[in-house]
């Protein structure tokens, strides 16, 4: 009797678990990700191999390694699984009132002013939905999106490709220099490290810090620094206290309203450079949900950041803008 005659019919759960095991290299990892028991994952994989009549994994190796037929099978089913997940997401959302669960991650830039408003807005438009909101670094948000632990992320855009994630450009956020109000030192002297005012920088493990450092190296600027911090609010507090100067962006500057009276924001000297922020989603996330978040977030950016800052600093008009 052929092997596949003894197996059960092919089912979606077995295919999804096979895909996860192939990517993670471990049934234990697949069990953790799906919340299933290890024996259940193993049972599904055995049934799938029995149905197909082939070994998809080399079971003698750890971590799990696909056989040539397993690699071919994975390649063939990935497009179909993506289409199925996409269809399920669209059907379940419908007019958005039927959405049941949304996991949204964001960098801290939006946390104070915009995420609370966005949360209230989403809850009113998706009344049957349970929400999970996470705040973290751009790298953390991307890792969680790739591992399917988040559905949508609001994050800075890295320079490299991010697999099958789909990003919608959101905001061009140019870098600026922030000095204490009334500082005697000129911007040129500060950038040339000709003053005793130290450079207060972002923590070196952050994407924004690496982008700033790369630009400074291109310019031949080697500013001495005595303070590193992952919090933009803390950096602005230190500058407001006269403890140094910093390079940041208008969006991050806008979050430090309590210190604005003691700060002065300047156009970055020489060639301008900027970071880009994006709305990033898993390919199986509903377009209707992403559209809803995108529309509301753009409105919040206009109200909380773009409008007020451009009114106070007209030189930001062309460089600080929404992306299409």
Look up residue 245 and give its DSSP letter.
B
Q: Which CATH number fits domain 3-93: 3.40.50.800, 3.40.50.2300, 1.10.10.10, 2.120.10.30?
A: 1.10.10.10
Pairing relation of β-strands 152-156 and 65-66?
unpaired
- Beta strand residue intervals within 124-218, DSSP E: 130-135, 152-156, 166-174, 176-180, 199-202
Segments making up each domain of the chain, as ranges: 3-93, 101-172+275-322, 176-271
What pLDDT shows up at residue 160?
65
Same fold: 3-93 with 101-172+275-322: no
Tokens of 79: 């497009």
- pLDDT bin (cut points 50, 70, 90) of residue 276 is very high
The fold for domain 101-172+275-322 equals D-Maltodextrin-Binding Protein; domain 2 (3.40.190)
Is the model's pLDDT at 115 over the cut of 60?
yes
What pLDDT shows up at residue 5?
43
Is the model's pLDDT at 42 over the cut of 50?
yes
- pLDDT bin (cut points 50, 70, 90) of residue 147 is confident
The fold for domain 176-271 equals D-Maltodextrin-Binding Protein; domain 2 (3.40.190)
What count of other Cβ atoms lies within 10 Å of the Cβ of residue 280? 26
Dihedral (CA of 302, 304, 308, 310) sign: negative
Q: Which of 24-38, 78-92, 282-296 has the highest mean pLDDT?
A: 282-296
- What b/e sequence results for 286-314 when a residue is b if at least 16 CB atoms lie within 10 Å of its CB, and e otherwise? beebbebbbebbbebbeebbbeebbeebe
Across the chain, what does the average pLDDT equal?
86
Cα separation, 273 vs 275, whole angstroms = 7
Pairing relation of β-strands 274-281 and 166-174?
antiparallel
Burial of 110 (0-12, 13-18, 19+ CB in 10 A): buried
Is the model's pLDDT at 87 over the cut of 90?
no
Pairing relation of β-strands 225-229 and 199-202?
parallel
Q: Do the beta carbons of residue 145 and residue 153 sit within 8 Å?
A: yes
CA atoms within 13 A on the CB side of 50: 14
Dihedral class, residue 222 (left if φ above 0, else alpha if ψ from -120 to 50, else beta): beta
């Amino acid at each position: 009797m052929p092997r596949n005659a003894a197996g059960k019919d092919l089912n979606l759960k077995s295919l999804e678990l096979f895909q996860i095991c192939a990517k993670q290299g471990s049934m234990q990892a697949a069990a953790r990700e799906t919340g299933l028991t290890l024996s259940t994952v193993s049972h599904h994989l055995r049934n799938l191999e029995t149905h197909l009549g082939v070994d998809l994994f080399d079971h003698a190796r750890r971590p799990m390694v696909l056989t040539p037929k397993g690699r071919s099978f994975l390649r063939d089913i990935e497009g179909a699984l993506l289409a199925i997940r996409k269809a399920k997401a669209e059907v379940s959302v419908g007019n958005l009132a039927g959405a049941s669960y949304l996991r949204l991650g964001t960098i801290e830039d939006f946390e104070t002013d915009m995420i609370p408003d966005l949360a209230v807005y989403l809850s009113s438009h998706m009344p049957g939905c349970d929400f999970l909101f996470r705040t973290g670094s751009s790298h953390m948000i991307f890792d969680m999106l790739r591992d399917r632990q988040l559905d949508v992320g609001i994050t800075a855009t890295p320079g490299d490709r991010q697999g099958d994630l789909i990003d919608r450009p959101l905001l061009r956020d140019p870098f600026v220099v922030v000095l204490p109000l009334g500082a005697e030192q000129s911007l040129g002297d500060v950038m040339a490290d000709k003053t005793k005012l130290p450079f207060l920088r972002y923590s070196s493990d952050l994407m924004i810090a690496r982008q700033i450092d790369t630009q400074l190296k291109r310019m031949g600027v080697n500013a001495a620094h005595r303070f590193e911090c992952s919090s933009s609010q803390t950096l602005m507090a230190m500058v407001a206290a006269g403890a140094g100067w910093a390079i940041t962006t208008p969006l991050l500057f806008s979050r430090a309203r309590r210190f604005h009276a003691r700060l002065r924001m300047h156009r970055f000297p020489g060639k301008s450079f900027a970071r880009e922020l994006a709305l990033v989603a898993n390919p199986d996330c509903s377009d209707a949900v992403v559209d809803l978040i995108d529309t509301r977030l753009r409105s919040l950016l206009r109200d909380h950041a773009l409008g007020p800052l451009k009114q106070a600093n007209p030189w930001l008009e062309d460089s600080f803008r929404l992306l299409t």
